[in-house]
């Protein structure tokens, strides 16, 4: 293996992208795609010319072709129900009768006879259409968009089979009923199928919040007469606005960076910009922060420790406490009622799942989505904290007692509810159906069950005690201690609550102070955001939507913003925000994003279709104006912005180089050992930077992302490495083959292998690797 066939790690992010979540390869901070090698601007110009030479097929052409296929008009004798996902089609079909399953090109659909009608249930597979720009537009800004079939993109080619099946079934349908998820995205999915595949203007709409048979049957018998146009237009508006932002800002940034002679795909979305700024601002706060010493003062009386309420920053002030010998104590007792927490909307579920189980917001949404598809819980993309009577909660509670005895605690006549509501769905609640679940799903499911039950449980009652010591000449120096005792556990028997009991004695009148203590502390820098706290912050600031926030954070993760549990901005992120603040602050203007958000929400407040459409146009036009302004400003300052970004890229490259440099090469003592990636074998390895003079290399474990750890080997002093594998705990190891510890471990293993017999040892290894590939496979098919 020649080292030339390897490329420096900084250039290979694209190939490693999907393997594992890397630590901030900061490069992706702002990229849609992974970076390539920097190339000259003239190279780009050539590439762009090449692309321009291939004109896209005009839409008319496609339609003519499609129409060409319809030669015979088939008999229209069925009712076609269109769902969003295949699993929902099966659920609906089973709820409406005894379905016969058919399949075409590996896509299943179902047929039922019901009251003498032939009903066909078939599904989309999420979005079957995506926005693209109308052909014939050059440069930027560009504003003309159109929906085109997703299958035209290679990554979504599989959607063609669904597209074609729906097309065929709709030709035989006398009526179409849309039964996608009832929210903006679901409505856009249904509307696009309806207008572009079924060639119809309107349809009946099934509305449901759970995939349980009774609710599905009810929603089929009483459908809404029309599409939920308010959701359709609001959803489409968001698609267009975000798309216009995405394409034009990417082009703006790329054109700026091109002026510096580099090429790099950079992008920043409408919500990502302000979100990145929020993170960068936090980073600046932390950087600016200067830690200060301060003292906390404690007094002990009657073996109880009391705390002075104020932190003392001036050391001299401590003197006044030193003389305290006694104090006058006062005890007050109160009883407190603590009402149960409000029912789950998506954000609260996500923050609680993170708090109790450290499950990230996006994983929580994924799990909740699966629980919904299984019929176990109601639709999770909701902002409601209400439990309406229509869901018959008492019935649900009764069914729940079969598996959750705690549900017997639910004696409250009316549930506790929160302020937030959602016109489309109630809060997230269990349907009462039961199924054995795997560990993480069970955790989320139980949290939802407990939260629901606790909304019907009695208040918790605590006895609170507060003892105040008044000391000093004029009794002006106070110390306090609090006690708490549970009188009624109420809902805390059901839902995990952090209420700590603490017993302190009653004290009244004069008491002797046994001890005064000073504890020196340091003020702490502000905390970085966690995925959960960032989600709540975005919600409070009305940025993004309940359905998109965790994806935005996820994208930031994939682009290298997130480090472990806390979100950290990287040098490129910082530079990008700096450049935009200086030259084009409107891109990261939280206020603008929020006002667009509000304008889009207002679409739904209108009453009829014409007004939805009008409002949609208004918000799209506003977006175009904003982008026109941005582009004017940007084009003038392009060179400056490019310079700034180039600086960011430079420090990014340096940082990556440093992060991948391990130590001086022990063979040649000239080069440095660096972590490199072999594109052909998809494997990391170590090699000397003095290649070709020095050919020293090191082998690293396969199927892993290799990173420098913070630690150094105790036995040989080499930096320790981390091998990070999917769904496994990172493995820390020393890469020095001459290390005494590495040698010892190897010998031990050899001995064990000899004892077990070679075959058994090999079997063990094979087992481990095959387990891993199984896991990877299942992750892919999901």
Q: Quote the least distance from Cβ 696 to Zn ion, whole Å.
A: 4
Contact call for residue 690 and Zn ion (CB under 5 A): yes
Contact call for residue 373 and Zn ion (CB under 5 A): no
Q: Quote the least distance from Cβ 9 to Zn ion, whole Å.
A: 17
* Sign of the Cα pseudo-torsion (118, 121, 127, 128, in order): negative
Contact call for residue 668 and Zn ion (CB under 5 A): yes
Question: Residue 206 and residue 224: Cα distance in Å, rounded?
Answer: 6
Nearest to 250 by CA among 656, 645, 541, 655: 645
Contact call for residue 324 and Zn ion (CB under 5 A): no
Contact 236, 186 (CB under 8 A): no
| Annotated active-site residue in 151, 162, 245, 379 | 379
Contact call for residue 715 and Zn ion (CB under 5 A): yes
**Number of chain residues interacting with Zn ion (CB under 5 A):** 14
Choice from 460, 580, 652, 694 touching Zn ion (CB under 5 A):
694
Question: Residue 192 and residue 170: Cα distance in Å, rounded?
Answer: 13
Question: Residue 370 and residue 354: Cα distance in Å, rounded?
Answer: 18
Choice from 696, 697, 703, 709 touching Zn ion (CB under 5 A):
696
Closer of 3 and 516 to Zn ion (Cβ): 3
Q: Quote the least distance from Cβ 548 to Zn ion, whole Å.
A: 46
Contact call for residue 734 and Zn ion (CB under 5 A): yes
Among 258-266, 419-427, 483-491, 709-717, the segment contacting Zn ion (CB under 5 A): 709-717
Nearest to 656 by CA among 27, 32, 18, 37: 27
Q: Quote the least distance from Cβ 721 to Zn ion, whole Å.
A: 10
Question: Residue 269 and residue 29: Cα distance in Å, rounded?
Answer: 12
Contact call for residue 713 and Zn ion (CB under 5 A): yes
Is beta strand 731-734 parallel, antiparallel or unpaired with respect to 697-699? unpaired
Contact call for residue 397 and Zn ion (CB under 5 A): no
Question: Residue 730 and residue 722: Cα distance in Å, rounded?
Answer: 6
In sequence order, what are the residues at sequence separation of 6 or more whose Cβ sits closer than 8 angstroms to the Cβ of residue 681? none
Contact call for residue 667 and Zn ion (CB under 5 A): yes
Q: Quote the least distance from Cβ 738 to Zn ion, whole Å.
A: 8
Nearest to 575 by CA among 645, 655, 634: 645
Choice from 38, 86, 97, 671 touching Zn ion (CB under 5 A):
671
Locate all alpha helices (DSSP H) within 585-608, ordered by sequence: 590-603
Choice from 324, 716, 722, 761 touching Zn ion (CB under 5 A):
716
Contact call for residue 739 and Zn ion (CB under 5 A): yes
Closer of 556 and 688 to Zn ion (Cβ): 688
Stated as kind and residue range, the H or E segment containing 113 is: strand 107-114
Please confirm whether the linkage preceding 232 is cis (ω < 30° from 0): no
Among 85-93, 335-343, 699-707, 728-736, the segment contacting Zn ion (CB under 5 A): 728-736
Q: Where are the beta strands (DSSP E) in 562-630?
A: 562-563, 566-567
Q: Where are the beta strands (DSSP E) in 523-660?
A: 562-563, 566-567
Q: Quote the least distance from Cβ 733 to Zn ion, whole Å.
A: 9
Dig out the tokens for 62 from the structure. Answer: 């496609």
Q: Quote the least distance from Cβ 620 to Zn ion, whole Å.
A: 59
Among 6-14, 99-107, 429-437, 695-703, the segment contacting Zn ion (CB under 5 A): 695-703
Closer of 594 and 667 to Zn ion (Cβ): 667
Q: Where are the beta strands (DSSP E) in 313-430?
A: 326-338
Contact call for residue 665 and Zn ion (CB under 5 A): yes
Contact call for residue 736 and Zn ion (CB under 5 A): yes
Count of CB atoms within 10 A of residue 723's CB? 21
Known active-site residue 379: yes
The binding site for Zn ion (CB under 5 A) comprises 665, 667-668, 671, 688, 690, 694, 696, 713, 715-716, 734, 736, 739
Catalytic residues: 379
């Amino acid at each position: 293996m020649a080292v030339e066939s390897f490329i420096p790690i900084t250039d290979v992010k694209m190939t490693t992208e999907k393997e594992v979540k890397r630590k901030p390869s900061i490069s992706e901070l702002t990229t849609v795609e992974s970076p390539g090698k920097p190339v000259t601007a003239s190279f780009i110009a050539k590439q762009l010319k090449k692309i321009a030479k291939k004109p896209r097929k005009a839409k008319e052409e496609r339609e003519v072709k499609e129409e060409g296929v319809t030669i015979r008009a088939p008999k229209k004798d069925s009712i076609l129900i269109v769902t969003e996902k295949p699993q929902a089609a099966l659920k609906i079909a089973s709820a409406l009768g005894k379905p016969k399953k058919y399949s075409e090109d590996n896509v299943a659909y179902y047929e039922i006879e019901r009251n003498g009608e032939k009903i066909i249930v078939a599904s989309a597979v999420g979005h079957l259409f995506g926005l693209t720009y109308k052909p014939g537009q050059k440069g930027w800004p560009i504003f003309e968009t159109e929906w085109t079939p997703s299958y035209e993109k290679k990554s979504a080619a599989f959607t063609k089979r669904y597209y074609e099946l729906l097309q065929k079934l709709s030709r035989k349908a006398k009526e179409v009923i849309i039964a996608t998820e009832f929210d903006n995205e679901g409505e856009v999915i249904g509307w696009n199928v309806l207008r572009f595949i079924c060639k119809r203007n309107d349809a009946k709409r099934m509305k449901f919040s759970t995939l349980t048979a009774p609710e599905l049957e009810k929603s089929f018998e009483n459908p809404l007469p029309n599409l939920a146009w308010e959701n359709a237009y609001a959803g489409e508006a968001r698609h267009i606005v975000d798309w216009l932002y995405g394409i034009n800002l990417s082009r703006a940034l790329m054109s700026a960076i091109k002026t510096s002679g580099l090429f790099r795909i950079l992008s920043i979305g409408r919500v990502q910009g302000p979100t990145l700024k929020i993170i960068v601002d936090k980073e600046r706060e932390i950087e600016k922060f200067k830690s200060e010493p301060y003292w906390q003062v404690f007094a002990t009386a009657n073996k109880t420790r009391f705390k002075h309420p104020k932190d003392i920053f001036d050391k001299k002030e401590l003197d006044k406490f030193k003389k305290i010998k006694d104090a006058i104590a006062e005890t007050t007792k109160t009883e407190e009622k603590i009402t149960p927490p409000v029912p789950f909307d998506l954000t609260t579920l996500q923050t609680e799942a993170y708090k109790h189980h450290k499950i990230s917001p996006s994983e929580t949404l994924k799990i909740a989505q699966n629980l919904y598809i299984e019929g176990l819980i109601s639709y999770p993309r909701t902002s409601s904290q209400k439990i309406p009577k229509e869901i018959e909660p008492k019935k649900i509670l009764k069914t729940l007692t079969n598996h959750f005895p705690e549900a017997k605690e639910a004696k409250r006549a009316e549930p506790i509810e929160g302020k937030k509501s959602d016109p489309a769905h109630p809060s997230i609640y269990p349907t009462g159906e039961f199924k054995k679940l795997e560990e993480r799903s069970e955790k989320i499911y139980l949290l939802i069950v407990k939260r629901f039950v606790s909304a019907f449980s009695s208040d918790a009652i605590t006895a609170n005690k507060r003892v105040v010591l008044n000391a000093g000449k004029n009794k002006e120096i106070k110390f306090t201690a609090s006690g708490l005792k549970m009188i009624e556990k109420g809902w805390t028997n059901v839902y995990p609550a952090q209420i700590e009991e603490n017993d302190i004695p009653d004290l009244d009148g004069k008491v002797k102070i046994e001890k005064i203590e000073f504890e020196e502390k340091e003020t702490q820098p502000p905390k970085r955001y966690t995925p959960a706290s960032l989600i709540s912050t975005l919600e409070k600031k009305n940025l993004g939507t309940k359905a998109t926030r965790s994806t935005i954070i996820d994208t930031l993760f994939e682009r290298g913003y997130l480090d472990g549990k806390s979100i950290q901005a990287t040098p490129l992120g910082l530079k990008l925000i700096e450049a935009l603040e200086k030259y084009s602050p409107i891109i990261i203007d939280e206020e603008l994003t929020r006002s667009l958000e509000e304008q889009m929400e207002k679409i739904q407040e209108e009453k009829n279709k014409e007004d939805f459409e009008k409002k949609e146009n208004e918000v799209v036009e506003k977006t175009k104006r904003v982008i026109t302004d941005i582009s004017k400003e940007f084009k003038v300052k392009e060179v400056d912005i490019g310079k700034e970004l180039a600086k960011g890229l430079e420090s990014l490259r340096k940082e990556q180089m440093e992060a991948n440099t391990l130590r001086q090469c022990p063979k040649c003592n000239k080069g440095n050992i660096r972590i490199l990636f072999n594109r052909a074998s998809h494997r990391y390895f170590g090699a000397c930077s003095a290649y070709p003079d020095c050919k020293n290399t090191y082998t690293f474990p396969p199927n892993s992302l290799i990173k420098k750890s913070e630690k150094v080997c105790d036995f040989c002093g080499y930096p320790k490495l981390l091998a990070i594998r999917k769904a496994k705990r990172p493995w820390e190891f020393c890469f020095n083959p001459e290390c005494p510890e590495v040698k010892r471990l190897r010998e031990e293993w050899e001995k064990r292998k000899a004892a077990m017999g070679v075959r058994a040892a090999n079997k063990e290894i094979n087992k481990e690797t095959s387990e891993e590939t199984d896991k990877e496979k299942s992750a892919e098919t999901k």
